[in-house]
Amino acid sequence: MLVVIGRIGRAHGVRGDVTVDVRTDEPERRFAPGSSVVCGDGTLTVASARPHSGRFIVKFQEVADRTAAEALRGSVLEARIDPDELPDEEDVFYDRQLIGLDAVTEAGAPIGVVTDVVHLPAHDTLAIDASGREVLVPFVAALVPEVDLDGGRVVVVDVPGLLDPDTAEVSRPEGA
């Protein structure tokens, strides 16, 4: 199975290095020297990689100079992953494990189905299709206390306004 692990940004220097906007929690593993990544219809081999200003600087063996590096700008990088592979850490999940799970309240009432995991700077967010309406739920323990992969569900705390905007608590200015 192919999993997106990054997107190539601009060239870095004149020797063919590129910046990579990382889309994986395991960049040191996915961009380890000698590893292969899928780029379009081809495969690239990582020669070296290092963190730099929130991104990675990666040198691929097949990219000889700045011109070749610029030609790859915007390309999506993917890794071949064994579908049974799981993260090493407890309470860490791959996006593919979460997408398709049923979302339910703590009382067991159905909310919808997880359709995507949105990676934001502060935290990841679950996109849930709630009867045709998209609900975004921050993927933090206070709001998603339970992920049951075997049971095919995530439990979401029904905080006023989170699942139904009409139930949000609204503060009003004094005298209003």
Query: Residues 92-151: pLDDT tens digits?
Result: 788 888 999 999 999 999 999 999 998 877 888 999 999 899 999 999 999 999 999 999
Whether 72 contacts 30, CB under 8 Å: no
Q: Where residue 49 falls among pLDDT bands split at 50, 70, 90?
A: very high
Q: In the prediction, which pLDDT does 176 show? A: 61
Indicate the pLDDT class of residue 2, thresholds 50, 70 and 90. Answer: confident
Of 96 and 11, more confident: 11
Whether the pLDDT of residue 70 is over 70: the answer is yes
pLDDT at 175 over 70: no
